[in-house]
């Protein structure tokens, strides 16, 4: 927990052992602590719903079938995501932005305990999905269903690599289209490179709308109205791809950036900079959302989501989400806030997986 801001220290002072925060959005007014002293509370949480092992156990039958298609994705000895097997001969879909930056090896642990090296064969940056390939056959697969069947109040579970689900909850908001700015912006990984530009969607790439003074972009000579089309070997189809690509490089790294300026293609070599300290405004807004659970770095940019109150850890994203009838209505795509985890609707995942399998995806590290 961060206490860099004196406001929170102050709150801590009066709330004794607990930071009791008023819930008025971004509000300053604080309710009195009242007679209740949180420190006297019993710490047993077995009466709860979402973090109650007794409740998880009831969901075992629900997740048993689809759970057979769940694999653990690992890198550098750590669990980084879950994956969902989509082809018996070793194709797995997972959350792209949880994969390691650069060339670090990715391992897939199967249900039988085998750990196999995986290769990223395709990426859908818009949906933050990656398709992995492992050398295996006869795997159990998941069939993504239309998320229309999941209405508000339906119970959901996220199968994990074991018999219990990794999360349970309800549909908080049924599948809806979301505007680009409605969802929280990405929290860039700490060691990610920084270019220093403001972007807008443009035909055939990402258009630079502003260049930060003294930034990597300014030093390299990038200008407003330049349309970025390629970074290193990744084709830039939109702002989301561009942001993701930059974040997958480290500060100090030199990357080739292709742009279109006045109809002419030009190439620049840019030394990526260090990310400036976080904006205090967003830091404060994020504070309450980060209370109690870690959030995914990438929480936005999805064209449509189903919102759930399940508590899906960032390292458990990439796995399927099922309803009480065992239908796979989507894929866990982000732990987005204290009250919400996002599920990528099954119909979108299905389409994206088909296109990635067919090699019809515009953006991916392996393509030009």
Partner 1 sequence: MKRWRWRALSTAVLAAAFGVAGASPVRADEPTKNATPKVEAQPVAPSTKPGVAATAPTTKPATTTAVATPKPKPIPPAPQVAGAPALPPEFDKANPETAADLKALQEQVKTIVAKVSPTVVGLRVGGGQGSGVIITDDGYVMTAGHVNGAPGRDVVVLLQDGKSVKAKSLGVNYAIDSGLVKIDAPGPLPGGKWPFAPLAKSSELKRGQWAIALGHPGGYRQSRPAPLRLGKVSVVTPTVLRTDCTLVGGDSGGPLFDLQGRVIGIHSRIGQGLADNMHVPADTYRDTWEQLARGDSWGLPAFARSTAYLGVQLDQASPDCKIGEVFPESPAAKAGVRAGDVITKLDGQRVANYGELLLKLGKKKPGDEAAIEVQRGIESVKLKAMLTKRPEAK
Q: Is 11 in the site for partner 1 (CB under 8 A)?
A: yes
Q: Is 324 in the site for partner 1 (CB under 8 A)?
A: yes
- Of 47-55, 66-74, 98-106, 195-203, which part binds partner 1 (CB under 8 A)? 47-55
- Of 58-66, 70-78, 249-257, 359-367, which part binds partner 1 (CB under 8 A)? 58-66
Q: Is 232 in the site for partner 1 (CB under 8 A)?
A: no
- Of 4-12, 100-108, 196-204, 217-225, which part binds partner 1 (CB under 8 A)? 4-12
Q: Is 294 in the site for partner 1 (CB under 8 A)?
A: no
Contacts 24+ apart (CB under 8 A), 187-191: 187/286, 187/295, 187/297, 187/298, 187/299, 188/247, 188/275, 188/297, 189/101, 189/247, 189/297, 191/101, 191/250, 191/251
Q: Which residues pair with 115 in a beta bridge?
A: 109
Site for partner 1 in 339-368 (CB under 8 A): 339-340
Nearest-angstrom CA–CA distance, 165 and 66: 11
**Residue of 280, 354, 359, 367 interacting with partner 1 (CB under 8 A):** 280
Q: For residue 111, how many other CB atoms are within 10 A of its CB? A: 16
**Residue of 107, 116, 178, 212 interacting with partner 1 (CB under 8 A):** 178
Q: How far is CA 66 from the centre of its chain?
A: 21
Q: Which residues pair with 155 in a beta bridge?
A: 170
Site for partner 1 in 99-158 (CB under 8 A): 151-155
CB of 134 to partner 1, least distance (A): 33
Instruction: Give the SS3 label for residue 241.
Output: helix
Whose Cβ is closer to partner 1: residue 19's or residue 87's? 19
Categorise residue 205: left if φ over 0, alpha if ψ from -120 to 50, beta otherwise.
left
CB of 236 to partner 1, least distance (A): 28
**23's tokens:** 């819930």
**Residue of 64, 119, 148, 176 interacting with partner 1 (CB under 8 A):** 176
* Ranges assigned E (strand) in 212-263: 227-231, 234-235, 254-261
CA distances from 365 to 80, 111, 191, 236 (A): 19, 28, 19, 10
**268's tokens:** 């620049």
**Residue of 120, 164, 172, 209 interacting with partner 1 (CB under 8 A):** 172
Q: Is 169 in the site for partner 1 (CB under 8 A)?
A: yes
Q: Is 182 in the site for partner 1 (CB under 8 A)?
A: yes
Q: Is 62 in the site for partner 1 (CB under 8 A)?
A: yes
Q: Is 276 in the site for partner 1 (CB under 8 A)?
A: no
């Amino acid at each position: 927990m961060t206490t860099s801001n004196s406001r929170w220290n102050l709150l801590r002072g009066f709330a004794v052992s607990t930071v009791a925060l008023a819930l008025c959005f971004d509000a300053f007014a604080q309710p009195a602590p009242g007679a209740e002293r949180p420190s006297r509370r019993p710490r047993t949480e077995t009466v709860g719903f979402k973090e109650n092992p007794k409740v998880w156990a009831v969901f075992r039958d629900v997740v048993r079938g689809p759970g057979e298609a769940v694999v653990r994705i690992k890198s550098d000895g750590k669990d980084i995501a879950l994956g969902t097997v989509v082809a018996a001969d070793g194709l797995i879909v997972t959350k792209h932005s949880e994969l390691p930056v650069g060339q670090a090896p990715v391992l897939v642990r199967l249900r039988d305990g085998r750990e196999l090296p995986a290769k990223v064969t395709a990426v859908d940056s818009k949906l933050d999905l990656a398709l992995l390939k492992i050398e295996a056959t006869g795997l159990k697969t998941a069939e993504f269903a239309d998320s229309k069947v999941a209405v508000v109040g339906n119970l959901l579970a996220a199968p994990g690599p074991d018999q219990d689900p990794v999360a349970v909850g309800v549909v908080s908001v049924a599948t809806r289209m979301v505007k680009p700015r409605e969802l929280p912006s990405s929290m860039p990984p700490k060691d990610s490179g920084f270019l220093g530009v403001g972007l807008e969607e443009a035909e055939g790439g990402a258009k630079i709308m502003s260049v930060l003074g003294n930034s990597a972009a300014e030093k390299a000579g990038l200008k407003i109205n330049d349309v970025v089309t390629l970074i290193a070997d990744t084709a830039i189809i939109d702002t989301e791809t561009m942001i993701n690509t930059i974040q997958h490089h480290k500060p100090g790294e030199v990357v080739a950036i292709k742009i279109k300026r006045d109809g002419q293609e030009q190439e620049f070599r840019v030394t990526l900079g260090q990310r400036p300290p976080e904006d205090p405004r967003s830091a404060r807004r994020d504070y309450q959302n980060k209370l109690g659970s870690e959030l995914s770095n990438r929480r936005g940019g999805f064209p449509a989501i189903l919102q759930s109150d399940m508590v899906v850890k960032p390292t458990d994203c990439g796995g399927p989400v099922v309803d009480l009838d065992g239908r796979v209505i989507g894929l866990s795509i982000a732990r987005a806030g204290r009250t919400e985890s996002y599920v990528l609707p099954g119909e979108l995942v299905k389409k994206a997986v088909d296109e990635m399998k067919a090699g019809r995806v515009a953006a991916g590290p392996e393509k030009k």
